[in-house]
Amino acid sequence: MSTPKTEGFSRYSIAIYLLFLVFFFALVTEGRFIEQRNIVNILLQSAINTILAVGMTLVIITGGIDLSVGSVLALCGLVGTDIMMNGLVLGGRTLVPKPNLVVGIPLAVLVSCTLGVLIGWWNGWLIARWNIAPFIVTLATMTIARGTAFVYSDGKPVGNLPEAFNRLGGGTGGEVLGIPVPVWIAIIVVLCTLILLRTTQFGRAIYAVGGNEQAARLSGVDVARVKITVYMLSGFLAGLCGIVQAARLGAGDPKYGEMYELNAIAAVVLGGASLAGGRGGVGGTVVGAILIGVLDNGLVMAGVSAFYQKVVKGVVILLAVLGDAWQRRQR
């Protein structure tokens, strides 16, 4: 069984790569890349992926995978913003009246996060109780959630969101001490997850399940409960990201979150986690998420074509997976 300490070498290695990228893009862009405004922009761009990747870290440590987080983000953000703006009407009956802003914004957050938890429970229940492969379950959920988002909204975004809500996404007035609100949310999520993994019995159980599921079961760990809980946490964070993304971009949209699951997985693996489970940590994941944000931002500022950007990101993901496979073979 691995602990966050065992991923130190990989985390520090990826930190060196991150510093190299920052230095490289600073040279290519003649210093514009390291201006304060752009650094804050990179942190803002990386916040969503960091939050998603933290949830993905918990899942991957147990030996699972969650391909549904991008679609869950879209569905949860869409439903949350729609209820905030219009209330909830089903079959001609008003179940939730249109709220005012004081109630509407917290309600949107609550609805989005709760829906994410429910979808996460569904994933975890099928995986833990029915022993279905996580890849299959979450792939199916990814498709269902995306389709449901389009059906729910008839393919249209929910726009004209109030300015007070948009501050949650780092819009005008959405900064604390000069740092956008989404970055603060990401920091809080990271710190809470660090405490969970490093200081709690449940955190140790997560590593035990990923390291050797049978041994964990024999030692008294409720494996099913651990698996269901980590998928619920992943769903919760996807729902949180859905509402933050809607606030940041000014609309809830069924098209949001496409390919976000790959960015999250890449951040986790780049940060030193093993896709086989039992190894990983939040510190490395944060560095991996920022590295991806630096890569995206730097390629845009360097004027690289969007098509080549996808190629570069794909190569980075492939190298990360190959590096993980190589490390496992060395053991």
Choose between 306 and 137: higher pLDDT: 137
pLDDT at 93: 79
How many CA atoms, within 13 angstroms, populate the side-chain half-sphere of residue 160? 4
pLDDT of residue 97: 86
144 has pLDDT over 90: yes
Contact call for residues 236 and 123 (beta carbons, < 8 A) = no
Full-model pTM: 0.93
**pLDDT of 37 strictly over 50:** yes
Q: Please say if the pLDDT value at position 45 is more than 70.
A: yes
Confidence check: pLDDT of 18 > 60: yes
Domains of the chain by start residue, with CATH: 31-330 (1.10.3470)
Q: How confident is the model at residue 324 (pLDDT cuts 50, 70, 90)?
A: low
Residue 95, pLDDT score? 79
**pLDDT at res. 15:** 82
Q: How confident is the model at residue 14 (pLDDT cuts 50, 70, 90)?
A: confident
Provide the pLDDT for residue 328: 63
Taking only the tens place, the pLDDT of each residue in 261-316 is 999 999 998 888 988 999 999 999 999 999 999 999 999 999 999 889 889 878 87
- For 92, phi then psi, to 5°, come to 80, 0
- 23 pLDDT band (50/70/90 cuts)? very high
The pLDDT value given to residue 11: 60
pLDDT, residue 5, reads: 45
At residue 10, the pLDDT reads 59
* Confidence at residue 6, expressed as pLDDT on a 0 to 100 scale: 44
pLDDT band at 34 (very low <50, low <70, confident <90, very high): very high
Q: Please compute the mean of the pLDDT values over residues 65-74 and round it to a whole number.
A: 98
Q: Percent of the chain at pLDDT above 70?
A: 94
Which has the minimum average pLDDT: 33-42, 267-276, 320-329? 320-329
Q: What is the pLDDT of residues 80-92, one digit of tens each?
A: 999 999 998 776 7
> Residue 4: its pLDDT value, please?
46
In tens, the pLDDT along 153-208 reads: 999 999 999 999 999 999 878 899 999 999 999 999 999 999 999 999 999 999 99
